[in-house]
Amino acid sequence: MGSTSNNNAAPGSSGGVGGVASQQQQAAQLAENGSAGGAGGAGGAHGNEIPVEFRAEVDRIFFQFMNKICSNLDATDAKGEPIHQTLMAKKMQRLDESPDFRPFKFRIQAFTNAFLEELAFQGYPEDKIPMKKVRNYLWNQPFISRFNEDGKKAKSKGNHIWNIDAKKLAEGGWTFRPFHRKLAGSPPSVAYVGLRWSWAPRIWDPQASRTNIPLEFSSPALPSWLSWEDGILSGTPPPDAQACDVTVEARCIQDGREEMLVQTFHINIAPMSGSDTSFAASRRPSLTNDPRRVNSDSVLPQASGTVPRFVNAGRLATESGDMHEIRPLPR
């Protein structure tokens, strides 16, 4: 992607001013996801919210800023610090050629500084919107992923980074995909007759570490050999077990409200031969119903199953309503 320039670019930032989404797109996006600096922002303290009278403008500037830096891989802050975390040349080429959503990795300090500079350039300096409110806005921004699925802060080449997903539009500009809280990890797709199958799901929050968040798991229907205990779904399929679909519901309290995350997946049933069982008993003691084992106790290669479908019950939306597009202004 080539870099762009514009005389109206904010001081210290490389690249031109990106296109602005339509008012309809802005309204739909704010209604669906809520402003990161408002009451809908996940985990935001009320005292650190963006003032309500500035919220729409800050959202507009944010997407404009994102569009600009995604179009310029050499973008820097006012100190000359690069915003992008560089990747290997071959990987960058593959990403540039991809027609689908692609990840961008941003160095946190440079990204934050450059966004503060952009706000000041567009009439919102620190005396109007304090830095702590802007930082809180970014920390709770649904279009930024700050944590990996293991609950640890995202890192690249030793640096803590923020991730976004963006897709280049044919007519220019970018569309951005929000990150949603979901159940992390893939359950084993095959359960072997006579061997214990188990899965311990966990929650992934892209804006916060949720390793200690209390969760209540349940399923509306389960085969007789499966059951929940202490957050682990497990059981040993009998010879007459049949392949089945399993739905997992996880309930948690978020900002004083109950939220339910739902995942449905398919379990295939396969027989275990005598030789396989002997191998399992001699080489894998954990296969003999050891409760410490979390993943599948199968020693045979797992057949590929259907990709789990993740549904955030609190954020059901159509795909078109779940994106934010930035298009260039008409000339």
pLDDT digits (tens, 9 = 90+) for 250-277: 988 777 788 899 999 999 999 986 545 4
Question: Is 0.85 topped by the overall pTM?
Answer: no
Residue 331 lies in a domain: no
Q: How confident is the model at residue 94 (pLDDT cuts 50, 70, 90)?
A: low
Residue 47 lies in a domain: yes
Residue 312 lies in a domain: no
Rounded to whole angstroms, the Cα distance separating 97 from 109 reads 28
Three-state secondary structure call for residue 27: helix
Number of Cβ atoms within 10 Å of the Cβ of 123: 10
260 and 120, same structural domain? no
Higher-pLDDT residue of 133, 314: 133
Domain around 219: 187-307
163 and 38, same structural domain? yes
Q: How confident is the model at residue 186 (pLDDT cuts 50, 70, 90)?
A: confident
Rounded to whole angstroms, the Cα distance separating 286 from 302 reads 18
DSSP state of 287: G
83 and 33, same structural domain? yes
Query: Mean pLDDT, to the nearest integer, of 276-285?
Result: 43
Residue 176 lies in a domain: yes
Number of domains in the chain: 2
Query: Mean pLDDT, to the nearest integer, of 166-193?
Result: 88
168 and 253, same structural domain? no
116 and 40, same structural domain? yes
167 and 28, same structural domain? yes
Partners of residue 265 on adjacent β-strands: 246
Residue 244 lies in a domain: yes
Q: How confident is the model at residue 29 (pLDDT cuts 50, 70, 90)?
A: low
Percent of the chain with pLDDT over 70: 62
Among 76, 53, 56, smallest CA distance to 64 is for 56
Please check whether residue 263 is in contact with residue 308, taking contact to mean a CB–CB distance below 8 angstroms: yes
Residue 1 lies in a domain: no
Q: How confident is the model at residue 157 (pLDDT cuts 50, 70, 90)?
A: confident
- The answer, yes or no, to whether residue 288 has pLDDT greater than 50, is no
For the chain, what is the largest distance between any 2 Cα atoms, rounded to a whole number of angstroms? 75
Three-state secondary structure call for residue 104: strand
98 and 50, same structural domain? yes
- The answer, yes or no, to whether residue 12 has pLDDT greater than 90, is no
Residue 164 lies in a domain: yes
Residue 10 lies in a domain: no
206 and 170, same structural domain? no
199 and 147, same structural domain? no
Please check whether residue 138 is in contact with residue 112, taking contact to mean a CB–CB distance below 8 angstroms: yes
197 and 102, same structural domain? no
What CATH number corresponds to the domain at position 255? 2.60.40.10
270 and 252, same structural domain? yes
157 and 36, same structural domain? yes
List pLDDT tens digits, range 101-150.
888 999 999 999 999 999 999 999 999 999 999 999 999 899 999 887 77
